[in-house]
Structure formats: structure tokens, C-alpha cells
């Protein structure tokens, strides 16, 4: 494998410094900088609280069953406006098992990209 033809992007870096990751990717691809400064998070884990979530799902299901393909964006607007950040926590035993299982791959990646990934262990 020719390392000069491979570009790795770590999600940690993308989260922490999206502009720098974007510029490095553009440089790797030989594409000029488009000047983008804003990198909003997309598809983040979030939940709409209880009864409202059920009501939105019921209306969406009804529309799908009836073949209704148009709308005014009201349901999506409600979901976006009312969604609260949500992330399931992983059981410590599961996290430990996954870290042990993937340790050889983390070590290989670390050697391949020349970065310290010790916090992944």
C-alpha cells in the first residue's frame, strides 16, 4: 500500500477541529479551499420527549400507510426544535470487552498513521 495515496480522518479530530481536518482533506485531494468555516453536526443522537414522539411517529406512520408523500415540514420542524441530545451509555464491562477485542487493530492503526491512540485503549 502506498501511504501517500491514503488519507485517514479520525472522528475525534473532526469533532475537535473540523476546519483543519477539512483543509487537510482538500489539500490531500489537491482541491482548492472553498473557504468554508461552519461545520454543523449532522445526524446527532437526539430524542424527542415521550408523548410528543409517539404522536409524531403516529402521524408519520399514517402518512406512509396512506401513501402521502407531501407535507409542510411541520413534523420535521417539531422534531428538530424539541429534540434533546441523547446518547446511550455503554456498560463498563462491554466497553472493556470491546477495547480488549479491538486492541490489535488500534495498535496497527497507530503504527500505520503515526499517531498516539493510547486513549483508545
Helix axes 50-66, 74-82, angle to 10 degrees: 160
Alpha carbons 116 and 13: distance in angstroms, whole number: 13
Q: Cell match 482533506: residue?
A: 25
pLDDT at 99: 94
Q: What is the CA radius of gyration of the chain?
A: 21
What's this model's pTM, rounded to 2 decimal places?
A: 0.59
Between 119 and 98, name the one with better pLDDT.
98
Residue 94: pLDDT band by 50, 70, 90 thresholds? very high
pLDDT at 78 exceeding the cut of 90: no
Measured CA angle at 116 (ends 89, 19), to 5 deg: 75
What average pLDDT does this structure show over 50-55?
A: 72
3-state secondary structure of 61: helix
CB 121 within 8 Å of CB 103: yes
pLDDT at 43: 65
Closest CA to 116 of 31, 12, 7: 12
pLDDT at 98 exceeding the cut of 90: yes
pLDDT at 103: 95
Amino acid at each position: 500500500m502506498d501511504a501517500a495515496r491514503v488519507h485517514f480522518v479520525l472522528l475525534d479530530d473532526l469533532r475537535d477541529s473540523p476546519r483543519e481536518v477539512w483543509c487537510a482533506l482538500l489539500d490531500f485531494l489537491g482541491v482548492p479551499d472553498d473557504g468554508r468555516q461552519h461545520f454543523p453536526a449532522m445526524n446527532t443522537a437526539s430524542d424527542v420527549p415521550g408523548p410528543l414522539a409517539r404522536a409524531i411517529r403516529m402521524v408519520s406512520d399514517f402518512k406512509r400507510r396512506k401513501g402521502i408523500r407531501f407535507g409542510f415540514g411541520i413534523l420535521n420542524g417539531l422534531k428538530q426544535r424539541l429534540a434533546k441530545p441523547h446518547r446511550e451509555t455503554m456498560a463498563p464491562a462491554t466497553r472493556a470487552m470491546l477495547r480488549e477485542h479491538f486492541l490489535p487493530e488500534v495498535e496497527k492503526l497507530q503504527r500505520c498513521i503515526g499517531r498516539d491512540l493510547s486513549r483508545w485503549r
